[in-house]
Amino acid sequence: MSSDPATSVLVLNGPNLGRLGTREPDVYGSGTLDDLRASLTQDAAGTTVDLRQTDDEAQLLAWLHEAADSGAPVILNAGAWTHYSYALRDAVSLVTKGGGTVIEVHISNPHAREEFRHTSVISAVSTGVIAGFGFESYRLALAYILRNSPTIR
């Protein structure tokens, strides 16, 4: 991570979230990752928002390992990996069991969608879950972190 973990929040996004703005706007809205970054940066009040997206599960795991080592709090939208990746669950657990914060977020409400989306393998090891509020889900997670994270100055 290029930023000081004491003043940074990692915002990690999994598969297909790089397509925000064009992917199913009726479900995910018309905002892009750049729009999300701008909104979170404005809300961050001097804290660095390090927003990343990958379609490579190994990369997401490496970023979570980085958070476990640095203490940076994490806002995580794992996309489809939420529902079946036990490797991701173990990486989230490394962060939270080590005293770090991981807020699981979803743009849509998974419980109002297809049955397979109703299960999250990472919720049980996450600090908390916010879903169904569009980009506001991320903003609510950031607000929580700014108020409660011991690593943010």
Q: Where are the domains of the chain?
A: 5-148
| Model pLDDT, residue 51 | 98
**Predicted confidence (pLDDT) per residue in 101-148, tens digit:** 999 999 988 776 778 677 899 999 999 999 999 999 999 999 999 999
What is the pLDDT averaged over residues 71-78?
97
- How far apart CA 136 and CA 49 sit, in angstroms, is 15
Catalytic residue from among 106, 111, 138, 144? 106
What is the pLDDT averaged over residues 86-115?
91
Separation in Å, CA 36 to CA 11, 82, 138:
10, 20, 8
Name residues whose C-beta falls within 8 Å of residue 129's C-beta, 6 or more positions apart in sequence: 103, 104, 105, 106, 120, 123
Separation in Å, CA 51 to CA 8, 97, 114, 115:
10, 23, 28, 29
Active site residue 83: no
Class (C level, CATH) for 5-148: alpha beta
Active site residue 106: yes
Pick left, alpha or beta for residue 16 (phi over 0 → left; psi -120 to 50 → alpha; otherwise beta).
Answer: left
| Model pLDDT, residue 1 | 40
| Model pLDDT, residue 120 | 94
Place 33 in a pLDDT band, splitting at 50, 70 and 90: very high
Nearest CA to 11 out of 100, 73, 56, 61 is that of 73
The residue whose two tokens read 């790089």 is: 18
Model pTM? 0.89
SS3 97: helix
pLDDT at 4 over 70: no
